[in-house]
Chains A and B, each alone.
Chain A
């Protein structure tokens, strides 16, 4: 598998996701600077977390218009898998690669903690090593992760298996009390219509090693390696 991580000024999870990718695929991913305009042949592109360009505007809005994102969009349209984590998810919605938007958390505060997620669609290149409805634990760390899509869009997303993860209790119930940020229907991550682009607010790369408190995130990188190698 060949992977690239996009680095914007202000990205700060680029190294973390590179470490997780390397642990699963046995090679370092390519680190690509925001001003670059061309990408080589790749299997997966990761848009990492952080505060791209400071995120002083709406999160991800500046990055969506960066030189490299034109190329990421072209690659995504040609079928290259794209994974956006946290700020990466915000950038992918701002770029139009994923439906919906991410608003301020309901409590208006930054939240960093572990959450439980239910795998809603395990039949994708990102999640094939998870079981359907498996409950996993990933951390979140964001102030703008409150997912919203209009009713019509959301209905078609649901019909097309585009909901990737939902916030849930440790027993797998996607109840209101398990929703950390006010997201519509507890949505934590979504796919594009072809299931080739995934965006999620929680950080799989942060719990991909037992020493750090858990390794549920590792299966996502292992899934990509298995599917794309």
Chain B
């Protein structure tokens, strides 16, 4: 075995104090296999060592929360014995190096986190961030990531029902690929990862182990440099067909009474799955690595333990030949590898054998639980000045609207979601393109609504407000389809936490998120942290992506954003001050990314959400859309473009505000409703009772959007909005 030199220690990513801690835990020098195990267990990706202290402050409980953070995914109770299992996870670094496989295995990994718990995956979502469209790598990355997500999700037969995609130069060297899976389980048949029962067999099943992905978790915890392309061999390769078999085999096995505990092999493969299961159960494991199904000959213990080959699972079975025979028969049916690789012990140690010799003997809890926890220094970001709308250049609202709808962030993402099967499983009630996707619970009248949200430019401008806004927008998007917001998963993407400014973004945005979650009764039930998203010292915009899940008791009552009828009233819910700081108008029209972002008034947010949900439940709303990026005029135009007939809208702007501020201000807590005249009086009355501003701002009709004496055809907006992304991606073909 190789000698443990300072170079070997450094190449495993250890700082001197961390290595000293290893020596203290073991009371001796580790061998290479053991050092490798320490390195992946203590990587930022697996240990959350920089963020743990702050993550603990997030609210995670509510009467409907069955399982909060700490397991493979979070679980909420949606009544009738049904539970929803969900989580979002990043695959940023692998996707930048090899976009197709990086994104594909990201989808595979998050699916496994969910079905490991006994849930059938019913929907996938994603939140993607790419660099500036003009950057030479952007098109290649978009094409590869989208094909990878589709290639994997389409084959496993889980619909990809929505997501968000942004472009900004800060992601030029670090794209973000955050994938979310939502699954449906029976409340009384949920599976956890805590091992139990000394002597019980530890079973490996799924794909064979190869040399791919070794040290993926440590790669995901380091900054990139110009040599990052050399890390390509650490990217895993996905096999969605095997994943599909694994889903069916797991669910079939879970219907029998044979499993004690189960865990997928995600980041850090066999190491983290076995350590986590043993640690949660307070037990030890003895494993014979010779029994691990291997793809190639001559693999060392180090390689077997650190491989990140995909589509693999580890479980503890009930004792006795009967359980083993039952499990093996199911794996044989689905043609998956199955091997008893060890058993549980009372020692609290992980003992690994290879070729009859002990190759590692490590205490479990000190590795799994005593990973370093840092209180890294941080500085609060400087507050930016509030921008006065009167100081901002005013341009023709019709022209500005057309420009905004064709900008990369607002342009239609149809080119992307048409490459995803969003209808398989036959329960997609609201497809991609709306505020939230709506997926019916199979065979029932209820549904879940799902959204992913964050506005990174707000978080950069003010991490605290931006953190609050991300949660509030998820709350709003769910309310806009009529769903009661239940819980969120978070995917915190930031730069290098060793820099106090970046650590300040992390601390402040988590504080904002936590406050919003508490005030909106919208707890965090699962999450993932991705740090070191920096290339050559340039950090991404802070991007704490929120995946929100809501419940619709009666799916038939959900509404979409498309205008339905001529001559109905357009009602704006919420208050408009014309906030242009950190807005898209400022960035896309005026070329400035300055100013404080719009503040979120959480009590008003909550009241407005309750109002909108009640109106939708009472069937007084024909269409509903939240007001977010681009402001009011963009929201109205999106409602018009979504209608099959391209129904227009005539708007009356108030004289109290500059027109461009009214049209494009990004004030929070607002919705646009389409309401029949016969329902208008009761809608306004209901708003009054909810102490929420509501005002009629115009009428639907015709085929133009008009405001302030200017007008633009909906068809023309539609062409601009639909045209940008296909034109951008099409150029890729002619360019080569």
Which of B152-160, B163-171, B190-198, B581-589 interfaces with chain A?
B152-160
Nearest-neighbor residue (CB-CB) of B440 within chain A: A211
**4 nearest A-B pairs in the assembled complex, by CB-CB distance:** A12-B157, A54-B241, A16-B426, A51-B155
Q: How far is the CB of A152 from chain B (nearest CB, A)?
A: 34
In Å, the complex CA distance between A80 and B443 comes to 30
Q: Quick check: B154 and A110 within 8 Å, CB to CB?
A: yes
In Å, the complex CA distance between A113 and B440 comes to 19
A120 at the interface (CB under 8 A from B): no
Contact pick for B155, options A54, A209, A211, CB 8 Å: A54
Which of B72-80, B414-422, B615-623 interfaces with chain A?
B414-422
Q: Quick check: A56 and B241 within 8 Å, CB to CB?
A: yes
B245 at the interface (CB under 8 A from A): yes
Produce 1/0 per residue, A198-215, CB < 8 A to B: 000001011001011100
**Interface size range on B against A:** 20 to 34
Residues of chain B within 8 A (CB-CB) of A54 are: 155, 239-242
Produce 1/0 per residue, A35-56, CB < 8 A to B: 0000000000000011101111
Q: How far is the CB of A16 from chain B (nearest CB, A)?
A: 4
Contact pick for A9, options B239, B334, B420, CB 8 Å: B334
CB within 8 Å of A: which residues of B? Answer: 147, 150-151, 154-157, 239-242, 244-245, 334-335, 417-429, 431, 440, 555-556
Name 23 A/B residue pairs within 8 A (Cβ), A-sorted: A9-B334, A10-B245, A12-B155, A12-B156, A12-B244, A13-B157, A51-B155, A56-B241, A109-B147, A110-B421, A112-B420, A112-B422, A113-B418, A141-B423, A141-B424, A203-B423, A206-B426, A211-B555, A211-B556, A212-B423, A212-B428, A212-B429, A213-B431
Residues of chain B within 8 A (CB-CB) of A139 are: 423
Q: How far is the CB of B392 from chain A (nearest CB, A)?
A: 39
Q: How far is the CB of A47 from chain B (nearest CB, A)?
A: 15
Q: How many A-B residue pairs have CB under 8 A?
A: 82
Q: How far is the CB of A116 from chain B (nearest CB, A)?
A: 13
**Interface size range on A against B:** 20 to 34
Label chain A's interface by main secondary structure. Answer: mixed
In Å, the complex CA distance between A16 and B156 comes to 14
A28 at the interface (CB under 8 A from B): no
Residue with the greatest number of chain A CB neighbours at <10 A, chosen from B239, B424, B440: B424
Nearest-neighbor residue (CB-CB) of A210 within chain B: B556
Q: Quick check: A110 and B150 within 8 Å, CB to CB?
A: yes
Residues of chain B within 8 A (CB-CB) of A141 are: 154, 421, 423-424
In Å, the complex CA distance between A51 and B158 comes to 12
Residues of chain A within 8 A (CB-CB) of B417 are: 112
> Known contacts A51-B155, A211-B429: does B241 contact A112 (CB below 8 Å)?
no
> Known contacts A112-B418, A112-B420, A141-B154: does B429 contact A16 (CB below 8 Å)?
no
Kindly identify, within residues 1 to 24 of chain A, every residue whose CB is under 8 Å from any CB belonging to chain B: 9-10, 12-13, 15-16, 19-20
Q: How far is the CB of B101 from chain A (nearest CB, A)?
A: 15
A111 at the interface (CB under 8 A from B): yes
Q: Quick check: B423 and A206 within 8 Å, CB to CB?
A: yes
Residues of chain B within 8 A (CB-CB) of A49 are: 424
Residues of chain A within 8 A (CB-CB) of B418 are: 111-113
Residues of chain B within 8 A (CB-CB) of A50 are: 157
Q: How far is the CB of B337 from chain A (nearest CB, A)?
A: 15
Nearest-neighbor residue (CB-CB) of A19 within chain B: B426
In Å, the complex CA distance between A19 and B556 comes to 19
Residue with the greatest number of chain A CB neighbours at <10 A, chosen from B147, B155, B421, B556: B421
Q: How far is the CB of B109 from chain A (nearest CB, A)?
A: 19
Produce 1/0 per residue, A108-128, CB < 8 A to B: 011111000000000000000
Q: Quick check: B241 and A9 within 8 Å, CB to CB?
A: yes
Nearest-neighbor residue (CB-CB) of B430 within chain A: A213
Q: Quick check: A15 and B425 within 8 Å, CB to CB?
A: yes
> Known contacts A110-B419, A141-B423: does B335 contact A10 (CB below 8 Å)?
no
In Å, the complex CA distance between A116 and B589 comes to 39
Q: Quick check: B423 and A9 within 8 Å, CB to CB?
A: no
Residues of chain A within 8 A (CB-CB) of B431 are: 213
Q: How far is the CB of A58 from chain B (nearest CB, A)?
A: 15
Residues of chain A within 8 A (CB-CB) of B423 are: 112, 139, 141, 203, 206, 212
Q: How far is the CB of B631 from chain A (nearest CB, A)?
A: 29
Q: Quick check: A53 and B154 within 8 Å, CB to CB?
A: no
Q: Quick check: A212 and B426 within 8 Å, CB to CB?
A: yes
Contact pick for A51, options B147, B244, B440, CB 8 Å: B244
> Known contacts A54-B239, A111-B418, A211-B429: does B424 contact A10 (CB below 8 Å)?
no
In Å, the complex CA distance between A137 and B434 comes to 21
In Å, the complex CA distance between A163 and B498 comes to 66
Q: Quick check: A16 and B240 within 8 Å, CB to CB?
A: no
Q: Quick check: A9 and B419 within 8 Å, CB to CB?
A: no
Residues of chain B within 8 A (CB-CB) of A12 are: 155-157, 244, 424
In Å, the complex CA distance between A110 and B431 comes to 17
Q: Quick check: A9 and B245 within 8 Å, CB to CB?
A: yes
In Å, the complex CA distance between A113 and B154 comes to 13
> Known contacts A9-B334, A211-B556: does B241 contact A51 (CB below 8 Å)?
yes
Residues of chain B within 8 A (CB-CB) of A55 are: 155, 241
Nearest-neighbor residue (CB-CB) of B156 within chain A: A12
Residues of chain A within 8 A (CB-CB) of B424 are: 12-13, 16, 49, 141, 206
Contact pick for A10, options B150, B244, B555, CB 8 Å: B244
In Å, the complex CA distance between A55 and B244 comes to 13
Residues of chain A within 8 A (CB-CB) of B154 are: 51, 110, 112, 141, 143
Nearest-neighbor residue (CB-CB) of A143 within chain B: B154
Nearest-neighbor residue (CB-CB) of A54 within chain B: B241
Q: How far is the CB of B567 from chain A (nearest CB, A)?
A: 25
In Å, the complex CA distance between A55 and B241 comes to 8
Q: How far is the CB of B248 from chain A (nearest CB, A)?
A: 8
Q: How far is the CB of B434 from chain A (nearest CB, A)?
A: 12
Q: How far is the CB of B548 from chain A (nearest CB, A)?
A: 23
